[in-house]
Structure 1
Amino acid sequence: MEKLGKDKLIILFLCGVFLLVLSWPTGSSKREKSNSGTEERKVAETVPQEEYVQKLEKKLENMLSKLEGVKRVKVMITLKNSGEKVTLKDSPYSQETDTQKEDGRATESTRFSTEETTVLVETEEGTEPYVIKEKEPQAEGVLILVEGMERAELKSEISEAVEALFGVPPHKIKVMKMDAE
């Protein structure tokens, strides 16, 4: 019986060491520091705006070139903004209620106070705000040059596709016929 107890104790000890090793931080993620403690979080990396536009243009060109009647296509997209990063805010608040009795009447006053601070993370470059959401840049206008646009309805189909994909109003989408080279 005593031997069985030692075996169980050794197995429990080894399981504990195994769990400790699994939960050990690797150091590859960045740490978040705030008033309420420490958590591991990764900071969002951003793609430069020019690369983002080129990526969108290439994707749209690839899709439109597969349409029936389209031989070649070139796309130009302009952006309304450069996107937005939403940072995590720590917003503790406090509430104080005072009750005063005077001449048999009770008056109650309540005071609220809030303080907003941005949660920061430590990176190799220093301290940066912690980004919880990143909004992509919005398209402002789209110009599409199409070679081989024989079908009349092709122009409206392309315009409707761009409107659906990017949310650009129809008056900011221009589909034109490209010269054959």
Structure 2
Amino acid sequence: MKLLEWLKDKLKKENLMMLNLSKKTTTNLIIVFCMGLALILIADFYRDIRMNGKAEEGIYNEDTQIEAGTTDNTSPDFVRGLENELSSILSKIQGAGRVSVMITLKSGREIIPAKDESISDKVTNEKDTSGGTRIINEKTTDEKVVFTAAQGGSSKPLIIKEINPEVKGVIVVAEGAKDSKVKLRISQAVQTVLDIPAYRVTVYERN
């Protein structure tokens, strides 16, 4: 009987130990899960902050560039397109033959954005020690670039005017330039199309 009671008592103790161990394991798993979830939430939070910071920085940089009123982003494409068009039309001049054109610009393309301008006037009357009155007129002007909604939820400046860059000089190489009359016609054509003086146009014979 004593042996049986001893076995029962031992089994109860072992069951209690297993139950406590199971509870501890469950608690530890819950703690680990909560810590993992917290780390994921913190990582997402800081990622959103970085993304927002980069987006604001991009808008600020774009705004600053637009404020300056100039950008060279489209100038290379503008030049290549103009050179190709000129080469095509000049090659159609009688006796010109094959033609190549090179154009240089004085500056980049100028972009003028719409601006929201606010002007405030402040008039102050001050009296000096001698009893006289001095009027101080302060005028403050604040300008901000106007942005419009674009696709994808982004924004872009509202452009009211675009000014193409001024041509600095043109070089034309043509097969028929050995003929002085053809050379003159090519030069005159370039002057007319680009509205530039003759000294900015040089025509050479192709080798």
Q: Same fold (TM over 0.5)?
A: yes
Which residue of structure 1 aligns with residue 94 of structure 2?
Answer: 68
C-alpha spacing 1:109/1:145, structure 2 compared with 1 (3 Å):
same
Gaps of 5+ in 2: 1-71
C-alpha spacing 1:47/1:93, structure 2 compared with 1 (3 Å):
closer
Conserved 8 A contact 2:100-2:174: yes
Instruction: State the SS of the aligned residue for 1:57.
Output: helix
Gaps of 5+ in 1: 1-45
Q: Which range is displaced more, 95-104 or 167-176? A: 95-104
Conserved 8 A contact 1:57-1:75: yes
Matched, 1:79 2:105: yes
Which residue of structure 2 aligns with residue 94 of structure 1?
Answer: 120
Which residue of structure 2 aligns with residue 58 of structure 1?
Answer: 84
Instruction: State the SS of the aligned residue for 2:180.
Output: coil
C-alpha spacing 1:106/1:152, structure 2 compared with 1 (3 Å):
same
How many matched pairs? Answer: 134
Aligned pairs (5 A) from 1:1-181:
48-98=74-124, 108-124=135-151, 126-149=154-177, 151-179=179-207
Q: CA RMSD in A?
A: 3.0
**Counterpart amino acid of residue 82 in structure 2:** L
Instruction: State the SS of the aligned residue for 2:177.
Output: coil
Q: Which has the higher strand share?
A: 1
Query: Residue 93 of structure 1: CA displacement?
Result: 0.8
Identical pairs, percent: 31
Query: Residue 98 of structure 1: CA displacement?
Result: 4.9
C-alpha spacing 1:105/1:72, structure 2 compared with 1 (3 Å):
same
C-alpha spacing 1:176/1:100, structure 2 compared with 1 (3 Å):
closer
C-alpha spacing 1:122/1:63, structure 2 compared with 1 (3 Å):
same
Query: Residue 171 of structure 1: CA displacement?
Result: 3.4
Query: Residue 137 of structure 1: CA displacement?
Result: 2.5
Which residue of structure 1 aligns with residue 39 of structure 2?
Answer: none
Q: Which has the higher helix share?
A: 2
Instruction: State the SS of the aligned residue for 2:165.
Output: coil
Question: Quick one: distance in 1 between partners of 2:169 and 2:133?
Answer: 63
Question: Quick one: distance in 1 between partners of 2:73 and 2:127?
Answer: 62
Question: Quick one: distance in 1 between partners of 2:178 and 2:126?
Answer: 84
Give deviations 1:85-138, integer Å, cap 9, x for gaps: 111111111223456899998765433222111111222352332211111123
Query: Residue 145 of structure 1: CA displacement?
Result: 1.1
Question: Quick one: distance in 1 between partners of 2:159 and 2:179?
Answer: 47
C-alpha spacing 1:153/1:111, structure 2 compared with 1 (3 Å):
same
TM value normalised by structure 1: 0.59
C-alpha spacing 1:101/1:145, structure 2 compared with 1 (3 Å):
closer
Using CA pairs under 8 Å that are at least 6 residues apart, name the structure with larger relative contact order, 1 or 2. Answer: 1
